[in-house]
Amino acid sequence: MLILGIETSCDETSAALVADGTILSNVIASQIDLHARFGGVVPEVASRKHVEAIGYVTREAIDSAGKTLPEIEAIAVTSRHGLIGSLIVGVSAAKSLAYALKVPLVGIHHIEGHIFANILSHPEMPLPHVCLTVSGGHTMLVYVKDVCQYEVMGNTLDDAAGEAFDKVAKFLGLSFPGGPVIEKLSVQGNKSAFALPRPLGRSRSFDFSFSGLKTAVVNMFKDKDRETLPLPDIAASFQEAVVDVLVSKTLQAARHKGVPAVSVTGGVSINRRLRESFSDACHREGLRVFFPQLDLCTDNAAMVAAAGAARLKYGDVSGLDLNAVPSAPLESAK
């Protein structure tokens, strides 16, 4: 089945064509440069930019796949969890196309998209497994029992891990998004230079909390001269604290469920220290670990199309009354 995916939940306008697990195109127009000057995503600016981009991004996804509009057999769109103004643009485009082409439409939860980024990258990934989605907007642990069958085990209670990277970077006077800059600085830094907390690290719950860690960094350095801050050591110590918590909670969840594998996905899963630490820890525990190919870690429409294809197999079709919903639980297919 040839399926068109559309993703506009935050600051990436993306459209992709996926056929039976093969990505034919995955066009992403990123707005990062536009938001960088504000030090974070400005929702109103994001939605206006999606309106400008959605037409040509969709056209390019179809053209570069060597396909035509009438060949599209279904449309999947991120309809829940994200910035409302941004979501509305993608949902409206998807509904119009589904109506015009008379093809089924399916609304996808953004986290389910991220889960499918890994399934798309590694079709051999075992089920059940435990999936950590770690991005700018989410830090969520999900027990993936089967295809589209989920049990949410834990969530962030405050800031998401990527958000903490972005806020700490902003405090240190670094550019947005903070994750890649902090990772780059960390390479020359000492990860044990500063003793930072591991929030909820010892707790038995599977929830996360990163706002206290961010505040710990701020309190440690707010009275110091910004010009002389040991940035690589701060970056490395902060990154290590985030990575430690993510790895230990995910492995705790995997042990609890007795799964043979874990999957890590979302923008922060690009981070090399995170990948290395997960790989070492999983190796020690005899678990397999999977990360998406790099271009599927951050927001993209191929993962949405893949999730849509799986949902359609369950007969999960949305009506033309599909709405954009900014906050919604991750639900299993029926």
Query: Minimum CB separation from ligand KG4 for residue 279, in Å?
Result: 16
At 241, list the tokens: 């604290």
Q: Which is nearer to ligand KG4, 154 or 266 (CB)?
A: 266
Piece of 49-57, 186-194, 271-279, 297-305 that binds Zn ion (CB under 5 A): 297-305
Contact predicate 120/292, CB 8 Å: yes
Binding of residue 299 to Zn ion (CB under 5 A): yes
Q: Which residue has the tokens 């999936």?
A: 131
Tell me the residue ranges of DSSP E strands in 85-154. 105-109, 129-134, 139-146, 149-154
How many residues touch ligand KG4 under the rule CB under 6 A: the total is 20
Q: Which is nearer to ligand KG4, 271 or 318 (CB)?
A: 271
Query: What distance in Å separates the CA atoms of residue 54 and residue 332, rounded to the nearest whole number?
Result: 29
Binding of residue 312 to ligand KG4 (CB under 6 A): no
User: Which one of 270, 325, 328, 333 is in contact with ligand KG4 (CB under 6 A)?
Assistant: 270
Binders of Zn ion among residues 132 to 161 (CB under 5 A) are 135
10 Å Cβ neighbour count for 70?
Answer: 8
Q: Which residue has the tokens 């902003």?
A: 170
10 Å Cβ neighbour count for 283?
Answer: 11
Helix (H, G, I), strand (E, B) or coil at 51: helix
User: Which one of 178, 199, 292, 308 is in contact with ligand KG4 (CB under 6 A)?
Assistant: 178
Binding of residue 8 to Zn ion (CB under 5 A): no
Closest CA to 250 of 123, 141, 98, 147: 141
Query: What distance in Å separates the CA atoms of residue 272 and residue 11, rounded to the nearest whole number?
Result: 23
Q: Which is nearer to Zn ion, 189 or 292 (CB)?
A: 292
177 preceded by a cis bond (ω within 30 of 0)? yes
Piece of 130-138, 146-154, 212-220, 312-320 that binds ligand KG4 (CB under 6 A): 130-138
R_g of the chain computed on alpha carbons: 20
User: Which one of 135, 250, 263, 318 is in contact with ligand KG4 (CB under 6 A)?
Assistant: 135
Binding of residue 179 to ligand KG4 (CB under 6 A): yes
Binding at 271: pick from Zn ion, ligand KG4, none (beta carbon under 5-8 Å per type):
ligand KG4
Contacts of 103 (CB under 8 A, 6+ apart): 72, 73, 74, 75, 97
Binding at 113: pick from Zn ion, ligand KG4, none (beta carbon under 5-8 Å per type):
none
Identify residue 324 by its one-letter amino acid code: A
Binding of residue 13 to ligand KG4 (CB under 6 A): no
User: Which one of 3, 4, 6, 10 is in contact with ligand KG4 (CB under 6 A)?
Assistant: 10
Contacts of 263 (CB under 8 A, 6+ apart): 115, 118, 122, 125, 129, 130, 131, 132, 144, 289, 290, 291
Binders of ligand KG4 among residues 237 to 266 (CB under 6 A) are 266
User: Which one of 183, 186, 252, 254 is in contact with ligand KG4 (CB under 6 A)?
Assistant: 183
Binding at 268: pick from ligand KG4, Zn ion, none (beta carbon under 5-8 Å per type):
ligand KG4
Binding of residue 25 to Zn ion (CB under 5 A): no
Binding of residue 162 to ligand KG4 (CB under 6 A): yes
Q: Residues interacting with Zn ion, by CB under 5 A?
A: 135, 299
Q: Binding residues for ligand KG4, per CB under 6 A?
A: 10, 135-137, 162-163, 165-166, 177-180, 183, 266-268, 270-271, 298-299
